[in-house]
Structure 1
Amino acid sequence: MKKITISDVARHANVSKSTVSQFLNKRYDYMSERTKRKIEATIGELNYQPNFVARSLKQKSTFTIGVVVANILHTFSTHFTRAIEDIFHKHDFQIIVCNADDEPQKERKYIEMLRAKQVDGIIIFPTGGNIDLYEQMKRDHFPIVFMDRIIEELEIETVLLDNHLASQMAVDQFIENGYNRIAIVTTSIIRHITPRVERIEGYRKALNSHGIEVDEAYIKTADADQMSKALTELFQLDMPPRAILAGNDIALIEVLKFMKETGKQIPEDVAVIGIDDVTFASFFTPPITTIAQPTNEMAERAAKGLLDQMKKEEGEEQLPIVERFTPSLIVRSSSL
């Protein structure tokens, strides 16, 4: 079967090729409704499929964005990816989502694949294990935005939460409700993942600001499969904590599982706050107090940063920016 071309559409609709091209690119400024309807009907009648490869070559763009998340299991990663897809869809871009599982080797493979596919830019939740690759992208002036995590050695545009403030809000909430034996539990900090490290730092500073000495035994970091052991150690202390700050959604799930398995009541035995507003927080029994990230605002900022880089003229310098967003406290029964 002969492949239908833009010329066939133009001839059938009795308009010029440039008019059809303007229609396909949604440039309707000087196009009547009658012409638009005629072209649309012709495209349907002929079953015309635009040649996106030719379009990419002509406009020097594949209209594709890569998103490399460190771990898709994190609620924030999932919600962010959903938000970024909506934003780029409005700009007629498609996205390719890759999950690195916090493994630098897997991250490298995905970044190299995305660049081989000539995506127009990449948003990365960096594992931190591929400095040379990040540096190469920077040298190539390849559009890139880091999300959620800072790589100190590199000046790359980065969007993330004010993690210190997130911990401060949680500690303040606990103390306001009479708790002063406060622990923090989060996933492994072996790779110095920014939000995990900063939330512990924020926890320390918050306790100090209230005149409470930091008890190192109250700080636990572990992979999810070791979290139960870490929590057991916490509650075997002579003075176990009366409140727990879960540093992220995965830690919160493990804390809640542990409480159920050991028969501990929330908040009667232990008060709980989680950073990241998980979907089940409002209908869990009891409802869980959380610190929420402004996911949509952060996605908008990351998308704008990437689009601005993509429009930048060659040789034009753009100063890297690290922008932090303010979290919000959602008070529910678990911290009262």
Structure 2
Amino acid sequence: MKSITIADVAKQSNVSKSTVSQYLNQRYQYMGEETKLRIENAIEELGYRPNIVARSLKQKSTTTIGVIVANILHAFSTQVIRAIEDVCHEHDFHTIVCNADDDPEKEKNYIEMLHAKQVDGLIIFPTGGNTALFKRMKKSQYPLVIMDRLLEDLAFPAVILDNEAAASLAVDHFVDRGYRSIGIMTTSITRNITPRVDRIKGYKKALEKHGIPVKDDYIRSLDLQHFEAALEEMLSLQAPPRALLAGNDLALMEILKFIKKKSLRIPEDVALIGIDDVSFASFYNPALTAVSQPAFKMGEKAAELLMKKIQDENGAIDEEVHRFEPELIERDSC
């Protein structure tokens, strides 16, 4: 089949190619309604579709950004993606989402692939690897916003929760409810993942603030497949914790699976608070107390920062870390 071009549309609607181009780019200021209607009808009759590649070469923009999440299984990640997509849609930008599975090599491949596709910028939840690659992007001033996690010794615009405050809110609530033997479980901190490390720091600081000794036996950061054994060991201690803080939604689900398997009662046998307000928290029995992240606001902020950088190449580079405040949602698990 012959490819339909702007020239064909111009001929069919009896206007110039530049007029068709103005119509396609929604520049209607000096275009009459009759002309617009003729072009619209010609496009419909001919089945014309703009050549996106050619347009991107001419405009030096693909109107597309990439989003690379460390682990798309996190409820927080999917909420942030939705907010990013909403902002991009308002700016007539498209979004390509990639899941790195907490694998630096996979993250590297996605960054290189998206560069090859000439996306205009990236929002990345870093896996904790690829320092050299991020340094190159920093040097080239490539439009990049860091989400949820920070990169050591590299200043990029970043959007992140105040993670120490999140853990502190949970510990404070436990203490207010009379608990003093409080444990924390989170996923692995092997690659110094910011939220996990900072939440443990916040947990320790909050205990010290309340005059409660920090016990190493009450702190676990490990891969999900090891959670059951770690919980078995922790809750079998001579003096086990009476309350547990789940460092993220994946940790929470592993703890809930263990509690169900062992027929434990919440909060009678063990009180529980999770960081991340999972979708089922309000109707779980008992309803789960949670520390909530403003995921949509954080996603919107990340997208707005990236749009500003893309659309204002000569503007000052905002390298600020934008920290958002958590909120405790009281329910029945504590």
Deviation of 1:87 after TM superposition, in Å, equals: 1.6
Counterpart of 1:184? Answer: 184
Counterpart of 1:184, as a letter, is: I
Counterpart of 2:174, as a letter, is: F
Change (3 A) 1:269 1:32: farther
Q: How does 1:156-195 map to 2 (within 5 A)?
A: 156-195=156-195
Counterpart of 2:269? Answer: 269
Q: CA offsets per residue over residues 78-101 of structure 1, 9 Å max, x none?
A: 111122122212212111111111
Change (3 A) 1:285 1:31: farther
Give me the TM-score of the superposition, normalised by structure 1: 0.95
Deviation of 1:32 after TM superposition, in Å, equals: 4.9
Q: CA offsets per residue over residues 285-327 of structure 1, 9 Å max, x none?
A: 111111111111111111111112212335x542411111111
Partners of 1:28 and 1:184 lie apart in 2 by 60
Report whether the alignment pairs 1:73 with 2:69: no
The answer as to whether partners of 1:148 and 1:161 remain within 8 angstroms in 2 is yes
Change (3 A) 1:28 1:172: farther
Counterpart of 2:246? Answer: 246
Change (3 A) 1:219 1:44: same
Q: CA offsets per residue over residues 210-260 of structure 1, 9 Å max, x none?
A: 221212211111111000111111111111111111000000000000100
For 1:183, what is the secondary structure of its paired residue?
Answer: strand
- CA-based RMSD of the aligned residues comes to 1.6
Counterpart of 1:107? Answer: 107
For 1:273, what is the secondary structure of its paired residue?
Answer: strand
Structure 1 unaligned residues grouped into runs of 5+ = none
Report whether the alignment pairs 1:152 with 2:147: no
Q: How does 1:230-309 map to 2 (within 5 A)?
A: 230-309=230-309
The answer as to whether partners of 1:9 and 1:43 remain within 8 angstroms in 2 is yes
Between the two proteins, what is the percent identity of the paired residues? Answer: 59
Counterpart of 1:80, as a letter, is: V
The answer as to whether partners of 2:164 and 2:203 remain within 8 angstroms in 1 is yes
Change (3 A) 1:191 1:29: same
Counterpart of 1:327? Answer: 326
Partners of 1:299 and 1:67 lie apart in 2 by 11
Counterpart of 1:298, as a letter, is: M
Partners of 2:285 and 2:84 lie apart in 1 by 32
Change (3 A) 1:45 1:244: same
For 2:333, what is the secondary structure of its paired residue?
Answer: helix
Deviation of 1:172 after TM superposition, in Å, equals: 1.5
Change (3 A) 1:331 1:15: farther
Deviation of 1:333 after TM superposition, in Å, equals: 1.1
Give me the TM-score of the superposition, normalised by structure 2: 0.95
The answer as to whether partners of 1:10 and 1:16 remain within 8 angstroms in 2 is yes
Change (3 A) 1:325 1:31: farther
Counterpart of 1:208, as a letter, is: E
Partners of 2:184 and 2:30 lie apart in 1 by 61
Partners of 2:31 and 2:290 lie apart in 1 by 51
Partners of 2:139 and 2:23 lie apart in 1 by 37
Change (3 A) 1:208 1:9: same
Deviates more, 1:70-79 or 1:8-17: 8-17
Q: CA offsets per residue over residues 137-158 of structure 1, 9 Å max, x none?
A: 1111111111111112101111
Change (3 A) 1:171 1:54: same
Counterpart of 1:5? Answer: 5
